[in-house]
Chains A and B, each alone.
Chain A
Amino acid sequence: MTEAPGPAVRPPTASRQLGFLLSVWWKHMRRRARRVGDAPKRAGAPTLLLLNLLSTAYMVSFVWRSVTRSVEHEPGFFAWHMLAVLSIALGTGVSKGAGALQLRGMRNDAFLEPLPLAPLARIALQLADSFFVIPFAIAVPIAAGLAQDSLPANLLPAAALGVLAFLAFFWLGQAAVAWARALGPASTPRISGYVGVGLNIGGMVGAFSPLGQIFDHSRGLATQLTRLWLAQPRAQLGLAACSVALVLLAYRALLAAERLGFDRIDAQHRAPKQQKGVRDRVGLEWQMMLRQGGRALLIVFLVFFFVAGVGGVWSFWKLSARSLPPSSLLILAGFAIYLGAVQTIAQAGRAARSDLLARPFLAALPLSPHHVLDGKARALRRLLSPVLVILAMLAGVAVFQGEFSNAYRIVLALCALYVVVDGTISVAFLSNGIGVAGVGGGQPSSGFSTQLLMMPLLATVAAPSDWAATTAFLAVALVTRESRRAAHKSVRWLDDSSDDLERETTVWRALLAATGFFTLQALTYQLLAFDLPPGYKLAVSYGSGALLLALLTWRNGARFERPRFLPNKLVVWPLGAIGGALSGLLALWLAKLFPPPEAADLPSALSTGEVLSLFFTMTLAAPLVEEYFFRGWLQKAIEADLPATKKHWAFALGALAFALAHLGSYGVPQLVLGLLAGALYAFGGGLWPGILAHAIHNGLVLLAGS
């Protein structure tokens, strides 16, 4: 008698299974978000959300405005380029699929394995798992559009199409891997990892190569190549940023895929044996990274990175794109801060725990993420300090000799790249708890923080002035540092929710609020008020900023302590008045010596209404809003964050931020004013004297201007 399979209970159809799967997955994700999401919420989620909305809106409007050329001019090239982008998308999807596949053992849904789940349902779950790709899917078509200046005139449908196409190809790639896993050989994950990287590199090379010109034919190849390379610096820029980021991502996914081999060794307890001879932690990291990634791949990656880097540097050298508006830097930075930080926090919190749990032998080694992280941070500081000295020197050169500007930008960009990559590695260390993955973090999605951090990097090179580029670099460094800290904190908090994050994140929140504040101002200045005479524009812009502050204060959205207005001491009043007058005079004197770049914007002929509006904005609204913000919030926040012995430096740092925000007019008088108002606030305990000084300063400048 042969054993009949027997009428086992038939599992439901694939679609019903999918229903169960999604509902249970959603329940899990929602609860997880509630738990893990509390960490970013404590870091000021309402502010972050607002910021995100504003920056997205601005990005869209910015692209809308910047795209001038129609696709009709170079249809063949456009088609080729889109092909390349889609290949990259496909490769990313494949890589993600491969990474996820390999991580299955570490994923919390490993218990799904023995269930009779239909392949279709599994694939659908994979798709649902990729929701986080959406911001990236939006960013890539935008970057592509920026790069080529050749999106169709009707941008919105084209952008939507680009997003859809990207998502589609991304998911296609993932689904292909999932299918291959369900039906194909056991080597699928490894193979798909290679395929993913291949597609990415193919897409990137395709995008850079002159092959696209064949589509556009009729003109000489060499001429076309030169024209393409030199005439479209932004093409190099956008594509370089995107492609490097994509390759990083693909490489991460591949390393994750490679980790299967590592898992196997791990499972067979061979790993501890191999580590016996390794005394040096760095040596251990390096050894494990090599084992995970494979030497050949590492070399391929490094060579590729080098080639892309050299190409990028060369194109930056020729860079003449100064067309990005300064405010867009803040937008880009804000966008990156939000997405990068939230992603990082969410990923790191989960991953550090589950991965450490999944690899107990690593947890037992003196390789704890905190150790590794601290070590990395120390090494970074050591490495960065000479870099900062050189930067400062170069900055000096750049100020006095415009010719060095491009060289300075290159150095800045390289430093920013270094900081970004290093920061991401550190965060990956933390999020993987294993400290050896290098760029190949275990979580396929944690790569997005890198890509999002790439955006301020882009801003570093494309900034309209060297000052703005420096600011962007500082933003990159700050974002990286804060991401790292946020990841740290959230992990700690997840382990022990009684640990209070709130007090420590004040500067972080203040800076986010600042970005939101300037974003809104820029947005209203550029968009809402574009038809108004220049005199009213400023009023609308400051009005919106005031509105935001009022809203945040009213709902206590940013959860700052409300600042006091009335000072404790009488003496600060006359000090404020005198100081304001002096700094105003200084501003006038400096403006005579070095006409500030903003001067061109000042309207020559104004109506009475405009004059009145300008007067009220400059002497009332602006001082009120800015003092409230820079002194009332930022200075207080910095003070709370500084160690007890250094609290008195808060006013100087606040003033520096104030000056940086006024780089358009060189910021020197503003630094003086900021120092004065900050000192008055710290000494007198109230905002009014600072506001008075600010109003007098602005009033003097305005009077002299008109």
Chain B
Amino acid sequence: MTDSADTPANASPSVAASAARASSRAPAALVSVVGLGKTFSGAVALDGLDFELHAGEVVGLLGPNGAGKTTTLKLLLGLLRPSQGHARILGLDCTHDSQRVKERIGFTADEPQFYDFLTGRETLDFVISVRGLDPVAAWAALAETVEVLDFVSQLAELTASYSHGMKKKLSLLCALLHRPRVLLLDEPTNGLDPTTALRVRELLRREADAGAAVLLSTHMLDMADRMCDRILVLDRGRKIAAGTSDEVRAQAGVAADATLEDAFFKLVGA
């Protein structure tokens, strides 16, 4: 279980592992997105996006600013209504059944914000109670994660005093505490120090190996390269490449030993 966190670091075993995972598990996708589109007063933010997300997968959403990554996540969360197409999570429609979807997923926002004058512990207590979890059990389950994220001492501080990275950590804890089967994460490691970012990656990999599907948007290409089973590259609301990082390289027409960064630049035409 522990070495699986490192597996995606090497490209070829990663492909094999993800292929094996995909074939060994039930084909039913935890998240399925069909022709999803969103238009904001004439401006197309997302245009006919299709993808599926299976248990045990970590999928990265890549793309330049304004490509539609956050819009996709918001649509999946039911915060926005799609202009076309639909998205389902665990068989539930994200728009019309968003309440039940929210019961089953974990989400971290790009810019996490909390009640400034509650401590981290109080915030988590609140989330536990609103989700109807048993506090003792939830805290027991959370204890290890808190430890891993090196967040124990900060739990007693007011969130107003948190740095961006600390808010990210708290946001991640809020998303993980009910052990959701689907995790939607907007820039989860943005603002974290390299050590913590590595731990978060391991944490997410472990969640995935335990059967969760993780969709994360990121700008950190090397991280996406190393940890994601599949990558979706968006540009101006359209999917321009998809697949494992090798497949993305192939689609971009760069050498197999080129970095994902090179592929990305080629794809978005930078």
Partner of A115, one of B28, B45, B90, B131: B131
In the bound complex, how far is the Cα of B107 from the Cα of A8, in angstroms? 16
B154 shortest CB reach to chain A, Å: 16
Choose, from A19-27, A143-151, A211-219, A564-572, the stretch at the interface.
A19-27
Contact with B along A83-120 (1 / 0, CB 8 A): 00000000000000000000000111111011111110
**Complex interface: chain A residues within 8 A of B194 (CB):** none
- By beta carbon, the residue of chain A nearest B170 is A111
In the bound complex, how far is the Cα of B126 from the Cα of A27, in angstroms? 11
Assess A267 versus B70: contact at CB under 8 Å? Given A2-B91, A115-B102, A358-B111: yes
**Complex interface: chain A residues within 8 A of B26 (CB):** 1, 3
**Complex interface: chain B residues within 8 A of A35 (CB):** 117
Partner of B117, one of A11, A27, A111: A27
Q: Quick one: which of B116-171 are within 8 Å of A by CB?
A: 116-118, 122-123, 126-127, 129-133, 158, 171
B171 near A111 with CB under 8 A, answer: yes
B113 shortest CB reach to chain A, Å: 4
In the bound complex, how far is the Cα of B100 from the Cα of A278, in angstroms? 47
A12 near B113 with CB under 8 A, answer: no
B131 near A114 with CB under 8 A, answer: no
Number of A interface residues in the complex (CB < 8 A): 46
Q: Quick one: which of A22-41 are within 8 Å of B by CB?
A: 24-25, 27-32, 35
In the bound complex, how far is the Cα of B122 from the Cα of A511, in angstroms? 42
B168 shortest CB reach to chain A, Å: 12
In the bound complex, how far is the Cα of B130 from the Cα of A21, in angstroms? 8
A32 near B103 with CB under 8 A, answer: no
B90 near A5 with CB under 8 A, answer: yes
Partner of A116, one of B29, B80, B99: B99
In the assembled complex, A643 has its CB within 8 A of some CB on chain B? no
Contact with B along A647-672 (1 / 0, CB 8 A): 00000000000000000000000000
B132 near A10 with CB under 8 A, answer: yes
Choose, from B173-181, B202-210, B243-251, B253-261, the stretch at the interface.
B173-181
In the assembled complex, A269 has its CB within 8 A of some CB on chain B? yes
Partner of A268, one of B65, B77, B100, B132: B65
Contact with B along A256-295 (1 / 0, CB 8 A): 0000010010011110000000000000000000000000
B116 near A108 with CB under 8 A, answer: yes
- By beta carbon, the residue of chain B nearest A34 is B117
Assess A113 versus B104: contact at CB under 8 Å? Given A9-B131, A108-B115: no
Partner of A3, one of B28, B117, B175: B28
**Complex interface: chain A residues within 8 A of B181 (CB):** 6
B66 near A269 with CB under 8 A, answer: yes
A11 near B130 with CB under 8 A, answer: yes
Partner of B127, one of A6, A31, A32, A115: A115
In the bound complex, how far is the Cα of B106 from the Cα of A29, in angstroms? 27
In the bound complex, how far is the Cα of B77 from the Cα of A110, in angstroms? 13
Assess A109 versus B115: contact at CB under 8 Å? Given A3-B30, A27-B122, A268-B66: yes
A12 near B115 with CB under 8 A, answer: no
A24 near B122 with CB under 8 A, answer: yes
Contact with B along A412-456 (1 / 0, CB 8 A): 000000000000000000000000000000000000000000000
Q: Quick one: which of B68-105 are within 8 Å of A by CB?
A: 70, 77, 79-81, 90-92, 99-100, 102-105
Most chain A beta carbons < 10 A, residue from B77, B100, B175? B100
In the assembled complex, A185 has its CB within 8 A of some CB on chain B? yes
Partner of A6, one of B65, B79, B90, B109: B90
- By beta carbon, the residue of chain B nearest A104 is B79
In the assembled complex, A383 has its CB within 8 A of some CB on chain B? no
In the bound complex, how far is the Cα of B17 from the Cα of A92, in angstroms? 58
B31 shortest CB reach to chain A, Å: 10
**Complex interface: chain A residues within 8 A of B81 (CB):** 185-186
Assess A3 versus B91: contact at CB under 8 Å? Given A24-B126, A110-B113: yes
In the bound complex, how far is the Cα of B11 from the Cα of A21, in angstroms? 46
Assess A12 versus B117: contact at CB under 8 Å? Given A114-B102, A358-B111: no
In the assembled complex, B24 has its CB within 8 A of some CB on chain A? no
**Complex interface: chain B residues within 8 A of A389 (CB):** none
**Complex interface: chain A residues within 8 A of B123 (CB):** 111
A116 shortest CB reach to chain B, Å: 4
In the bound complex, how far is the Cα of B129 from the Cα of A7, in angstroms? 18
- By beta carbon, the residue of chain B nearest A183 is B96
A548 shortest CB reach to chain B, Å: 35
Partner of B104, one of A8, A27, A110: A8
A-B contact count (CB 8 A): 128
B16 shortest CB reach to chain A, Å: 25
- By beta carbon, the residue of chain B nearest A358 is B111
In the bound complex, how far is the Cα of B118 from the Cα of A337, in angstroms? 31
B77 near A114 with CB under 8 A, answer: yes
In the bound complex, how far is the Cα of B40 from the Cα of A232, in angstroms? 49
B103 near A116 with CB under 8 A, answer: yes
B115 near A24 with CB under 8 A, answer: yes
Partner of B113, one of A8, A111, A261, A270: A111
A104 shortest CB reach to chain B, Å: 9
B129 near A20 with CB under 8 A, answer: yes
In the assembled complex, A17 has its CB within 8 A of some CB on chain B? yes
Assess A12 versus B129: contact at CB under 8 Å? Given A1-B28, A114-B175: yes
B114 near A108 with CB under 8 A, answer: yes
A28 near B106 with CB under 8 A, answer: no
In the assembled complex, B41 has its CB within 8 A of some CB on chain A? yes
Assess A32 versus B105: contact at CB under 8 Å? Given A1-B28, A20-B130, A111-B112: no
A31 near B117 with CB under 8 A, answer: yes
In the bound complex, how far is the Cα of B123 from the Cα of A108, in angstroms? 12
**Complex interface: chain B residues within 8 A of A118 (CB):** 99
A111 near B91 with CB under 8 A, answer: no
- By beta carbon, the residue of chain A nearest B99 is A116
In the assembled complex, A4 has its CB within 8 A of some CB on chain B? yes
A37 shortest CB reach to chain B, Å: 12
B133 near A114 with CB under 8 A, answer: no
B116 near A116 with CB under 8 A, answer: no
A187 shortest CB reach to chain B, Å: 9
Partner of A28, one of B66, B90, B117, B174: B117
- By beta carbon, the residue of chain B nearest A115 is B130
Partner of A110, one of B99, B103, B109: B109
**Complex interface: chain A residues within 8 A of B107 (CB):** 113-114
**Complex interface: chain B residues within 8 A of A9 (CB):** 103, 131-133, 178
A81 shortest CB reach to chain B, Å: 38
**Complex interface: chain B residues within 8 A of A261 (CB):** 40-41
Q: Quick one: which of A495-554 are within 8 Å of B by CB?
A: none
Most chain B beta carbons < 10 A, residue from A1, A6, A116, A261? A116
Most chain A beta carbons < 10 A, residue from B65, B109, B132? B132
**Complex interface: chain A residues within 8 A of B106 (CB):** 114
B40 near A109 with CB under 8 A, answer: no
A491 shortest CB reach to chain B, Å: 15
**Complex interface: chain A residues within 8 A of B28 (CB):** 1-3
In the bound complex, how far is the Cα of B178 from the Cα of A79, in angstroms? 55
B17 shortest CB reach to chain A, Å: 22
B117 near A107 with CB under 8 A, answer: no
In the bound complex, how far is the Cα of B58 from the Cα of A298, in angstroms? 48
**Complex interface: chain B residues within 8 A of A270 (CB):** 66
B191 shortest CB reach to chain A, Å: 12
- By beta carbon, the residue of chain A nearest B54 is A3
B65 near A8 with CB under 8 A, answer: no
In the bound complex, how far is the Cα of B119 from the Cα of A28, in angstroms? 9
Contact with A along B225-237 (1 / 0, CB 8 A): 0000000000000
10 example contacts (A-B, Cβ-Cβ < 8 A) are as follows A9-B178, A20-B130, A28-B118, A35-B117, A107-B113, A109-B115, A113-B77, A114-B105, A114-B107, A116-B103
What 9 A-B pairs have minimum CB-CB distances, sorted nearest first?
A268-B66, A114-B107, A31-B117, A28-B115, A116-B102, A116-B103, A186-B81, A110-B113, A3-B28
A28-B116, A114-B106 given; 20 more Cβ-contact pairs under 8 Å:
A2-B91, A3-B29, A8-B100, A9-B132, A21-B130, A28-B115, A31-B158, A32-B116, A108-B113, A110-B113, A111-B113, A114-B77, A114-B109, A116-B99, A116-B100, A116-B131, A186-B81, A264-B43, A268-B66, A270-B66
